[in-house]
């Protein structure tokens, strides 16, 4: 399908992504916001708003559905095919337009749930969905707004597909330059609940440690889910979260019947041209709130045998995952200390050279992240499916952008919420190894959701 692209550029010094999103969201039923708190360099200084969907691919319960210009085609996912085969077929229907911009202006925006690994790998998972959202869902949009924070520029891209010749780019510009819109209030309704008590989770940790001792796995990530009923506008929670927990990946995807939003520190995988990169994050200590004490805690984290053991395993797993398709796989950075709002993490960088025609194969070969499953990954996922009470669905999946040329930039869906039917769902896990302590692993879960809980509280006061 041919694509004609129009664009306008305006100065964005008084128009923020959040402000523009609020102006547009009541006019379009499906609208996505992608931001980054990392504006230090030009490479990560972009935010995106996508709206007016013109095409969609969804995969759920082995059914594949293409929607293009109101036409729908359905397929049964064949046993000898992977989800990536259908993603390839879908994205290849769009003619790639070359332009002079060094940033994405069109492509597929959406998510891949954790449980969709069954469409990439030879693994069976139980069907115990609690939330029931599509397992894979990507859209192609007519409008993509790109903020370049480095240069204070805003680009409005209008993509006309096939026979569509109706341009409304000036109308969009006028909306952006119009009066600001105020969001509605947010209020909690009742107390937070969880699907596992602390005692139950500690018993789960013991089982994980036992599997490590038996040699079934070297590491396994087990998690628990939390629930918070609410009234009002959950976008206020996103606003609070991006404020108290700035991260490389900030996102708010409004699908109408449900929303996924969060502040993720970790990329699933980044593929740009012929380079693929994974940033394993493993090893976690709680921040103290005091800068000098945090430095001491960081030193303790570097010296902690258990945390280092966990990190090394997951760096090795990242190397192995990349090596399935990539050449020249190297560890560019090893065990960097990174400070987030409520935790301190160990972070490494592993990269490799990927053949241009193998990009989408690499995506399936590295999913899900080892930092959300364990090692060996296949056995860890089987045990997770056996022990956790319901399918993970959104948690541990990936969300972001896929270019028509195969470039890929997704965050792991952690430090995130799913909102459906006036309930916020959020989840966190702990990486369990032989030397794990049940009390510390239980505390790690709460350390990881502290920013989410904090955002809920602050949202009531905005």
For the chain, domains (ranges, CATH) are: 3-459 (3.60.120.10)
pLDDT of 41 above 70: no
- Contact by Cβ (8 Å): 103, 150: no
CA gap 97, 95 in Å, rounded = 6
How much is the pLDDT for 38? 62
Averaged pLDDT, 58-62: 96
Confidence of residue 338 (pLDDT cuts 50, 70, 90): confident
CB burial readout 157-169, b (16+ within 10 A) else e: bbbbbeeeeeeeb
Q: Among 7-16, 320-329, 333-342, 418-427, name the most confident range.
A: 418-427
For residue 57, with 0-12 CB atoms within 10 Å meaning exposed, 13-18 middle and 19 or more buried, which class applies? buried
CA gap 333, 349 in Å, rounded = 5
Phi-psi region of 132 (alpha: psi -120 to 50; beta: other; left: phi over 0): left
CA gap 337, 60 in Å, rounded = 39
Q: Whole-number mean pLDDT of the chain?
A: 92
Confidence of residue 70 (pLDDT cuts 50, 70, 90): confident
Contacts of 255 (CB under 8 A, 6+ apart): 30, 137
CA gap 442, 430 in Å, rounded = 7
CA gap 265, 412 in Å, rounded = 8
Report pLDDT digits (tens) over 300-316: 998 888 888 888 888 99
Averaged pLDDT, 164-187: 93
Averaged pLDDT, 254-266: 96
Averaged pLDDT, 134-138: 98
Residue 391, SS3?
Answer: coil
CB burial readout 248-278, b (16+ within 10 A) else e: bbbbbbbbeebbbbbbbbbbbbbbbeeebbb
Higher pLDDT, 426 or 305: 426
CA gap 240, 342 in Å, rounded = 14
Averaged pLDDT, 421-432: 97
- DSSP assignment letter at 98: P
How much is the pLDDT for 306? 83
How much is the pLDDT for 98? 76
How much is the pLDDT for 43? 55
Count CB-CB contacts under 10 A for residue 206.
14
pLDDT of 42 above 70: no
CA gap 323, 420 in Å, rounded = 38
Which pair of structure tokens corresponds to residue 97? 């337009």
Tell me the three-class secondary structure of 210-268, residue by residue.
HHHHHCCCCEEEEEEEEEEEEEECCHHHHHHHHHHCCCCEEEEEECCCEEEEEEECCEE
Q: Tokens 């800068």, residue?
A: 291
Which pair of structure tokens corresponds to residue 310? 């966990």
Phi-psi region of 208 (alpha: psi -120 to 50; beta: other; left: phi over 0): alpha
How much is the pLDDT for 283? 78
Following DSSP, what letter does each residue of 71-82 receive, concatenated?
A: EEEEEE--TT--
pLDDT of 31 above 90: yes
Averaged pLDDT, 264-273: 92
How much is the pLDDT for 287? 86
Range of weakest confidence among 39-48, 249-258, 410-419: 39-48
Residue 154, SS3?
Answer: strand
Q: Tokens 């570097």, residue?
A: 302
Residues with active-site annotation: 345, 371, 395, 415, 431
- Contact by Cβ (8 Å): 50, 109: yes
Report pLDDT digits (tens) over 218-236: 999 999 999 999 999 999 9
Confidence of residue 44 (pLDDT cuts 50, 70, 90): low
What is the pTM for the complete model shown? 0.93
Residue 431's DSSP bridge partners are 221
CA gap 431, 405 in Å, rounded = 35
């Amino acid at each position: 399908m041919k694509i004609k692209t129009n664009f306008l550029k305006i100065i964005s010094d008084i128009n923020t992504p959040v402000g523009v999103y609020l102006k547009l969201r009541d006019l379009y039923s499906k609208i996505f916001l992608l931001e980054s708190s990392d504006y230090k360099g030009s490479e990560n200084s972009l935010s995106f708003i996508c709206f007016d969907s013109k095409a969609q691919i969804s995969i759920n319960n082995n059914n594949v559905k293409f929607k293009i210009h109101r036409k729908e085609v359905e397929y049964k996912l064949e046993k000898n095919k992977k989800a990536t085969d259908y993603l390839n077929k879908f994205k290849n229907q769009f003619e790639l337009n070359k332009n002079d911009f060094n940033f994405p202006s069109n492509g597929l925006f959406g998510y891949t749930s954790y449980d969709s690994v069954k469409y990439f790998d030879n693994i069976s998972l139980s069907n115990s969905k609690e939330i029931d959202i599509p397992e894979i869902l990507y859209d192609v949009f007519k409008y993509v707004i790109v903020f370049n924070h480095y240069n204070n520029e805003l680009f409005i891209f209008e993509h006309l597909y096939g026979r569509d010749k109706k341009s409304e780019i000036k109308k969009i510009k006028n909306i952006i330059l119009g009066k600001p819109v105020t969001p509605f209030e947010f209020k909690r309704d009742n107390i937070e609940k969880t699907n596992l008590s602390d005692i139950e989770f500690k018993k789960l940790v013991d089982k994980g440690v036992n599997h490590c001792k038996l040699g079934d796995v070297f590491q396994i990530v087990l998690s628990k889910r939390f629930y918070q009923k609410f009234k009002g506008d959950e976008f206020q929670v996103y606003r609070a979260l991006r404020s108290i927990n700035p991260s490389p990946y900030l996102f708010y995807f409004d699908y109408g019947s449900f929303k996924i939003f969060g502040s993720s520190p970790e990329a699933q995988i980044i593929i740009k041209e012929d380079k693929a990169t994974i940033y394993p994050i493993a090893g976690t200590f709680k921040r103290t709130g005091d800068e000098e004490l945090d430095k001491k805690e960081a030193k303790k984290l570097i010296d902690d045998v258990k945390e280092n053991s966990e990190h090394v395993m997951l760096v090795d797993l990242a190397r192995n995952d990349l090596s399935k398709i990539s050449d020249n796989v190297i560890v560019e950075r090893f065990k960097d200390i990174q400070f987030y709002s409520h935790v301190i993490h160990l972070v490494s960088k592993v990269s490799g050279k990927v053949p241009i025609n193998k990009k989408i194969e690499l995506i399936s070969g590295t999913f899900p992240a080892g930092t959300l499953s364990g090692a060996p990954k296949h056995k860890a996922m089987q045990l997770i499916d056996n022990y956790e009470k319901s399918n993970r669905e959104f948690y541990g999946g990936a969300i972001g952008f896929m270019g028509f040329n195969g470039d890929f930039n997704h965050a792991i869906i952690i430090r995130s919420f799913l909102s459906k039917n006036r309930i916020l769902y959020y989840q966190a896990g702990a990486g369990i190894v032989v030397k794990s302590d049940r009390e510390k692993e239980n505390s790690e879960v709460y350390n990881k959701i502290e920013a989410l809980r904090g955002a809920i509280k602050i949202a009531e006061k905005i």
